[in-house]
């Protein structure tokens, strides 16, 4: 059976969609049968499903597939270690419900179901039509490479079809431009996400516990923690909104109306064992104070991120 070559940073769903075109299969069922030995399944646009079969068909280790062709590794820094390991086991077993539970993902909350994202400039300059892995991370709106707004398409799982990637060439932009300030913050977040996803898969030291410890010690240094060890929640929340603006936080589905029982307070007091990657990146950006330098960190040099975290 002819299998397409997997491209670096190609999302796992993209493989199925490309295979469908290249195989000239008349039916989507046949494609699913070829790829997953299951004529009803379609690899998900999120973490992928049927990983065992895909690993076998493409002759790639399952861990490599997850690390390089899904955005799962980004959760390593934002989900406590035991939940992260459980989530990975669930992912390999194809148990998506458990996977989402361990990662704390709730439908509708920065989790765009059944959508694919793409950058028009990437599509135009690429020789192979494919979907980039980074562009599928929920909450990421900008291409880190071109700075373009990502276009989004809904994929029809109900009809169990692979999206025809050629549509990316002909479809018109469907999203209104973001306001400049919002676009700029989204662009920084996309760049950090791109770096983190690469670092997370190659670095065994990075974990949620380290990230949280660094954020808390930075808060202490910035006097957000009282002498009795209590985080000054009201001041922190006010400053957070002041920094990112209410408009941005609403756009990023991360606004809070008070300082109690918010995603930020839950993270700080340890009530929640995870934080959404986009929110985690906002925290890192705010408390590192190094904004633009962060984006040029070499992704394979661990020492750099450790330095960053030390400054967080
Ligand atoms: Zn691009």
Q: 3-state class of 152 per DSSP?
A: strand
Q: Which residues pair with 265 in a beta bridge?
A: none
Distance 211 CA to ligand 1 centre (A): 29
More confident residue, 24 or 48: 24
Residue 299 — very low, low, confident or very high, per pLDDT cuts 50/70/90? very low
Instruction: Decide if pLDDT at 109 tops 60.
Output: no
Neighbours of 254 (CB within 10 A): 20
* Angstrom distance (rounded) from CA 272 to CA 274: 6
Q: Tell me, what's the pLDDT at 173?
A: 84
Q: Which residue has the tokens 């070499």?
A: 298
Please give the model's pTM, rounded to 2 decimal places: 0.88
pLDDT tens for 8-19 read 999 999 998 999
Distance 30 CA to ligand 1 centre (A): 32
Q: Where do runs of H (alpha helix) occur along 113-159?
A: 120-125
- Averaged pLDDT score across all residues of the chain: 84
Distance 116 CA to ligand 1 centre (A): 14
The pair of three-digit structure tokens given for residue 154, joined into one six-digit string: 């809904």
The answer to whether the CB of 154 falls within 8 A of the CB of 174 is no
Distance 166 CA to ligand 1 centre (A): 17
Distance 145 CA to ligand 1 centre (A): 5
More confident residue, 82 or 196: 82
CA atoms within 13 A on the CB side of 138: 21
Instruction: Decide if pLDDT at 114 tops 90.
Output: no
- Per-residue CA distances from 256 to 96, 184, 245, 277, 286 (Å): 29, 21, 11, 17, 17
Residue 225 phi/psi, 5° resolution?
-115, 130
Top-confidence range, 29-33, 156-160, 291-295? 29-33
Q: 3-state class of 81 per DSSP?
A: helix
pLDDT tens for 275-298 read 999 999 998 888 754 333 333 333
Distance 10 CA to ligand 1 centre (A): 13
- Helix pair angle (208-221, 277-288), 10° resolution: 40
Distance 5 CA to ligand 1 centre (A): 21
Distance 149 CA to ligand 1 centre (A): 9
Q: What share of the chain is helix, strand, coil (3-state, %, to 5)?
A: 55, 5, 40
Q: Which residue has the tokens 């999203």?
A: 175
Distance 140 CA to ligand 1 centre (A): 12
More confident residue, 154 or 130: 130
Tell me which H or E stretch contains 91: helix 81-93
More confident residue, 226 or 237: 237
Distance 209 CA to ligand 1 centre (A): 32
Residue 102 phi/psi, 5° resolution?
-65, -35
Instruction: Decide if pLDDT at 67 tops 80.
Output: yes
Beta strands in 99-208 (DSSP E): 115-118, 151-154
């Amino acid at each position: 059976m002819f299998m397409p070559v997997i491209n670096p940073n190609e999302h796992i769903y993209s493989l199925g969609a490309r295979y469908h075109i290249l195989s000239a299969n008349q039916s989507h069922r046949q494609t699913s049968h070829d790829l997953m030995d299951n004529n009803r399944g379609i690899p998900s646009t999120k973490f992928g499903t049927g990983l065992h079969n895909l690993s076998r068909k493409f002759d790639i280790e399952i861990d490599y597939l997850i690390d390089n062709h899904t955005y799962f590794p980004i959760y390593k820094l934002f989900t406590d270690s035991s939940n992260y390991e459980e989530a990975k086991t669930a992912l390999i077993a194809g148990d998506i419900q458990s996977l989402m539970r361990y990662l704390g993902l709730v439908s509708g909350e920065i989790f765009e179901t059944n959508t694919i994202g793409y950058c028009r400039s990437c599509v135009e300059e690429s020789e192979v039509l494919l979907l980039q892995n980074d562009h599928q991370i929920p909450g990421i709106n900008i291409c880190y490479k071109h700075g373009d707004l990502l276009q989004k398409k809904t994929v029809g799982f109900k009809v169990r079809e692979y999206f025809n990637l050629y549509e990316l060439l002909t479809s018109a932009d469907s999203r209104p431009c973001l306001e400049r300030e919002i676009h700029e913050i989204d662009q920084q977040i996309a760049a950090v996400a791109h770096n983190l996803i690469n670092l997370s898969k190659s670095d065994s030291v990075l974990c949620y516990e380290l990230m949280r410890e660094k954020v808390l010690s930075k808060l202490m240094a910035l006097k957000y923690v009282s002498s009795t060890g209590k985080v000054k929640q009201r001041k922190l929340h006010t400053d957070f909104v002041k920094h990112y603006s209410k408009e941005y936080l609403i756009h990023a589905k991360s606004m809070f109306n008070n300082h109690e029982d918010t995603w930020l307070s839950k993270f700080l007091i340890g009530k929640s064992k995870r934080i959404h990657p986009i929110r985690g990146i906002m925290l890192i950006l705010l408390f590192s104070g190094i904004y633009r330098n962060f984006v040029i960190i070499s992704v394979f040099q661990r020492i750099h991120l450790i330095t960053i975290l030390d400054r967080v």
